[in-house]
């Protein structure tokens, strides 16, 4: 029997983990993770100078809704992976739907814009730093999420790491929105998604070691 098969078999024999316990622990450690990401924005990047006027408009909240939705998808996926035998189908469908909506929103926006304005809508003024800033904030917040998730001994370490990374990425990107003045759907769909993808990829790499039995 292969090692992965043996681990899965042993995990399935474990008594089921209470969903409320799983959720409670992850939610508890999301608080300091979010606090660290927010502190990174305030003390390192700085809040956007027009924040008060920005929060009065819909684009700020649309961007926050996208990143928060991906955080929620990561939370749900991590919750399922933390319980042996639980299906991940529904959270993966939710994740795909969120990404599809963001991509569709960006395409509609670009099609409605003048051709010579489309590149500026995609690149904005901070495309070069947006993904790495989100990655940096995610790296600050990740230890809290990984510490919480490690108690669940997931049977798919890399997959669980990616889920933990996605959850962390959503927190980091939502906090980053307090600094970033970009508002186009095209920018968010490309560069925010890339930054969150980098955090999820880092999580997958770390998960191979952090969640190893």
User: Residues 124-138: pLDDT tens digits?
Assistant: 999 999 999 999 999
* Res. 83 pLDDT band, cuts 50 70 90: confident
- The answer to the question of residue 101 being in a domain is yes
- Which has more confidence, 47 or 22? 47
- Cβ atoms of 188 and 182 within 8 Å: the answer is yes
Answer yes or no: is pLDDT of 10 > 50. Answer: no
pTM: 0.89
- The answer to the question of residue 12 being in a domain is no
Query: Range of 153's domain?
Result: 34-210
- Cβ atoms of 161 and 203 within 8 Å: the answer is yes
- The answer to the question of residue 91 being in a domain is yes
17 SS3 class: coil
- The answer to the question of residue 13 being in a domain is no
- The answer to the question of residue 19 being in a domain is no
- Cβ atoms of 173 and 100 within 8 Å: the answer is no
- Cβ atoms of 76 and 91 within 8 Å: the answer is yes
- Which has more confidence, 17 or 31? 31
- Number of domains observed in the structure of the chain: 1
188 SS3 class: helix
- The answer to the question of residue 109 being in a domain is yes
Taking CA atoms, 18 is separated from 72, 84, 174, 211, in Å, by 19, 11, 29, 19
- The answer to the question of residue 5 being in a domain is no
**Tokens 């809040």 — which residue?**
47
102-132 tens-digit pLDDT: 999 999 999 999 999 999 999 999 999 999 9
């Amino acid at each position: 029997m292969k090692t992965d098969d043996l681990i899965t078999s042993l995990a399935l024999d474990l008594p089921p983990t209470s969903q409320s316990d799983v959720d409670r622990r992850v939610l508890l450690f999301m608080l300091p993770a979010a606090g660290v990401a927010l502190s990174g924005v305030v003390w390192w990047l700085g809040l956007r100078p027009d924040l008060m006027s920005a929060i009065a408009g819909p684009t700020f909240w649309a961007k926050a809704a996208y990143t928060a939705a991906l955080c929620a998808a990561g939370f749900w996926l991590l919750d399922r992976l933390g319980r042996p035998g639980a299906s991940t189908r529904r959270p993966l469908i939710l994740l795909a739907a969120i990404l599809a909506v963001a991509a569709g929103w960006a395409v509609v926006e670009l099609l409605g814009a003048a051709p010579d304005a489309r590149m500026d809508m995609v690149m904005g003024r901070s495309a070069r730093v947006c993904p790495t800033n989100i990655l940096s904030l995610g790296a600050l917040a990740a230890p809290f999420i990984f510490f919480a998730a490690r108690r669940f001994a997931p049977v798919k370490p890399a997959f669980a790491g990616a889920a933990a990374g996605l959850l962390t990425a959503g927190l980091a990107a939502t906090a980053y929105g307090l600094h970033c003045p970009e508002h186009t759907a095209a920018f968010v769909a490309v560069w925010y998604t890339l930054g969150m993808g980098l955090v999820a990829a880092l999580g997958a790499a770390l998960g191979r070691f952090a969640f190893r039995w």
